[in-house]
């Protein structure tokens, strides 16, 4: 009986091999969970960055489209690096006999669009971006209908349009790219590029404008 008790006493607890194996299994589980959480965080950061880019792209298009629709004259000058300087003249909404001018340009250094020398959205690019993150303006152009288009039919159609229509029909193209460079070993560079497009008819260029009302 005493011999059996001594044998059972020796078998109590874990052996060194069992303890080591348990620690290894727990380490693998923790490592796997960490990798999953890091991948989830990476995907979340990418998704958020693209949403910020979409919001900014849509805001720029909305502001520029609004000014063009109320314009009486538009002047476009090339600014290099596939961008344009855009001057838009429109009637003062209060003093209808006075023409005002809005000037748009792409600030490539700070990756933002400026209107009248000020950032269209002071919150873009975000100030809390991480290492390796950046936004880049790839294109910001305003071109007459049929000039800058991948659609061959539109290009052919532009030759059949009259001069008044062509002078008042403009295509806005705004391309943004989000870059996420690899920082840690094993990471990969990642980027996404999106184009925001709108076609605007400057109605006031071919209509009689009196007292701020198109007739």
Domain boundaries, given as residue ranges, for the chain: 13-214
pLDDT tens column, 102-122: 999 999 999 999 999 999 999
Residue 8 has pLDDT above 60, yes or no: no
CA distance 109 to 52: 19
CA distance 148 to 82: 12
Residues 3, 6, 8: CA angle, nearest 5 degrees: 110
Mean pLDDT (whole number) for 40-52: 80
Q: Which residue has the higher pLDDT, 44 or 35?
A: 44
Per-residue model confidence (pLDDT) at position 38? 67
Q: Which residues contact 128 (CB under 8 A, 6 or more apart)?
A: none
Average pLDDT over residues 120-132: 88
Tokens representing residue 66 in the block: 């609004």
CA 161/CA 68 separation, integer angstroms: 20
Q: What is the dihedral of CA 156, 162, 165, 170, to 10 degrees?
A: 40
Mean pLDDT of the 40-64 span? 87
Q: How many residues does the chain have?
A: 215
């Amino acid at each position: 009986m005493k011999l059996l008790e001594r044998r059972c006493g020796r078998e109590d607890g874990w052996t060194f091999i069992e303890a080591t194996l348990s620690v290894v299994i727990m380490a693998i589980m923790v490592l796997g969970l960490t990798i999953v959480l890091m991948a989830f965080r990476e995907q979340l950061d990418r998704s958020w960055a693209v949403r910020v880019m979409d919001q900014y792209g849509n805001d720029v298009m909305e502001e520029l489209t609004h000014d063009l629709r109320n314009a009486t004259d538009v002047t476009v000058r090339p600014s290099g690096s596939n961008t344009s300087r855009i001057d838009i003249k429109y009637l003062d909404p209060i003093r209808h006999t006075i023409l005002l001018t809005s000037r748009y340009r792409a600030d490539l250094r700070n990756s933002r669009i400026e209107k009248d020398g000020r950032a269209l959205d002071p919150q873009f690019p975000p100030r809390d971006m991480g290492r390796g993150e950046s936004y880049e303006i790839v294109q910001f152009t305003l071109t007459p209908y049929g000039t800058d288009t991948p659609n061959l039919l539109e290009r052919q159609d532009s030759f059949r349009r009259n001069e008044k229509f062509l002078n008042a029909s403009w295509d806005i193209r705004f391309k943004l790219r989000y870059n996420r460079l690899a920082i840690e070993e094993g990471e990969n560079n990642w980027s996404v590029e999106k184009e925001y497009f709108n076609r605007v008819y400057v109605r006031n260029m071919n209509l009689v404008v009196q007292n701020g009302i198109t007739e």
